Amino acid sequence: MIDKILLETIDKASERIVKDLIGIRRDLHQIPELGTDLPKTREYILKELRMLDVEIKENVGENGIVATLYGGHKGKTIAYRADMDALPLKEANSFDFASRHEGRMHACGHDGHVTIALGILKILADIKNDIKGNIKFIFQPAEETTGGALNMINDGALQNPDVDYILGCHIWPSLASGKIGLRKGPIMAGTDIVDITIEGKGGHGAIPHKTINPIVVGSKIVNEVEGIKNYFVPSSQNSVISFGSFKAGETNNVIPQSARLLGSVRTFSKETQSIYISKLTDIIKSVETVYGVKCELNYRTNYPPTINDEQVVEKIETALMELGLQDKIFQIDEPSMGAEDYSYFLQNVPGAYMFIGSRNEEKGVVQEIHHPNYDMDEAIFETIPGIFSKLILEFLF
């Protein structure tokens, strides 16, 4: 258990930096950037880091940043990860700190994720001489696009010093503001990309019998795919397959030569993933035979499922209860079908991913992530950085 005086010091530091953290979040919200191309975001974070006594590695895994706070005593190393990138979305909010970058928006809360990480670092930097062990802060690019986690891992983000545990969070508008969503085992799905090209035979819309219409074939594929989950995936296994793009043709009276389908598969196990790959392959072969088309299935495995270490989650629950914060705990019954490349970190070291509630109906903060009116309840910066600072120390002491 952490020393009482140290806990009081954390509380005072947490109270002192609230206005600063809200300012940081609003500054970041105005400069959303995409993928690994994050010059202004990185510059802002590095400016904050250089004011603190931390070791900084500026270009880990293509523009990632790792800042290590070394404690005054030798011990274990715990990492905390925050993603930095935004979404290609036009913001509809009218507040004075709305996005200044046209067509880009922090609609997934990553500005808040960075703010929480910087808040934890500011709090713990004040007491570094009392800390036994080290804390690595991993600022990751490209979570929304190509996935920056694996590049950072391959470039040594979890080494020198080697990480024993890792924690991270996602601000979650489905939960009441300030709640900490916990779940043992799977908390977010793995996601794969389905890319199907259909090569038919174009022609005049008035003589369809002399063509092979790829739109018809694509429609048949979509209809057949709907049956995979119902008939081949065990009912005990959560999974989703959905198509978000169907591109073919340009006008009403010309049957196009080709079509393309894009979709995603979300699963929690390799067994379920294999079923989708197998059945998609069977469906493609069958429509080729029936309609005389040429189809190509490009199935790209993407992020694996995010699976929390059960012992780490138990330790978090115990620590929160010992700190008198049991009212902050929210048990998540069903995992989210959303996906996160934080999963790669959990494949390398024990850790947990948590959901931080930010829903506040009185303030009108109710929109889900990836919405042009998305916002977060900034009251979370009054409590979450301090609570997470205490949790991190529980893993080191």
Residue keyed to tokens 């996906």: 339
The active-site residue, picked from 80, 165, 276, 303, is 303
Please state, in angstroms and rounded to a whole number, the distance separating the CA atoms of residues 196 and 300. Answer: 11
Please state, in angstroms and rounded to a whole number, the distance separating the CA atoms of residues 349 and 358. Answer: 28
Q: Is 322 a catalytic residue?
A: no
Q: Is 378 a catalytic residue?
A: yes
The β-bridge partners of 57 are: 66
Please state, in angstroms and rounded to a whole number, the distance separating the CA atoms of residues 89 and 107. Answer: 8
Please state, in angstroms and rounded to a whole number, the distance separating the CA atoms of residues 35 and 147. Answer: 8
- Is residue 205 within 8 A of residue 253, CB to CB? The reply is yes
* CA 212 from centroid of its chain's CA atoms: 41
* Per-residue tokens: 64: 């990632």
Please state, in angstroms and rounded to a whole number, the distance separating the CA atoms of residues 345 and 90. Answer: 31
The active-site residue, picked from 48, 143, 340, 378, is 378
Which amino acid would we find at residue 182? L
Please state, in angstroms and rounded to a whole number, the distance separating the CA atoms of residues 217 and 1. Answer: 63
Residues designated as active site: 303, 378
